[in-house]
Amino acid sequence: MALRPNNNYRGNKREEEPYRINQLIRGVEEVRLVGENIEVGVYPFAKALELATAQSLDLVEISPKAVPPVCKIIDYAKFKYDQKKKQKEIKANATKTVIKEIRFGPNTDEHDFNFKLKHAVNFLKEGAKVKAYVHFVGRTIVFKERGEMLLLNFAKGLEDVGKPDDMPKLEGKRMSIIFSPKAIKK
């Protein structure tokens, strides 16, 4: 198999290659060669390219900043496929943080409070964060203390399943507090 040109075109848009391969590795006298079926060491660039061609594989620059640059003799298409697969796996295993919001008014009744508290407990048990806030409309801003008491009672009701990240904060016409789920004991 001859050395392949770098066909990294998709339609009219050019896709940027993360690694330089074969003749695209320029301005290098010698490279440190690693890979299977090869004796690890420093080789002149032309010799390294010749070794890759002899095995019908590609010379891929893995670490361009090293002195001399590190290159590997591998099948570049398979290497790119494995890299994409690893990235996809990392992305799949990453945890996504979900924040559920619960809104109160400064004059929220006890029944509504308990109803919203029950929902917040369920959200925290599912692993979501909960942002509870009291929205002050018009002149109700004079009842800031009521809003703070409401959020502190809410925090007390959630202390078994969640912990507050901070104390209630007033930002404009909203006083809010965020709860994170507690670690589940096994």
Q: Tell me if residue 4 falls in helix, strand or coil.
A: coil
Taking only the tens of pLDDT, the chain with its 186 residues reads 555 655 555 554 455 677 788 877 877 888 888 877 788 888 888 888 888 888 888 888 888 888 888 888 888 888 889 889 998 888 887 777 788 899 988 888 889 989 999 999 998 888 888 999 988 888 888 878 888 888 888 888 888 888 888 888 888 888 888 988 887 654
For tokens 């890759």, what's the residue?
A: 52
- Record the pTM: 0.50
Measured between alpha carbons, how far is 53 from 36 in angstroms, rounded to an integer? Answer: 14
Dihedral of CA atoms 176, 106, 159, 184 in degrees, nearest 10, equals -60
CB 122 within 8 A of CB 177: no
Which amino acid type is present at position 162?
G
**Cα first-last separation, the chain:** 56
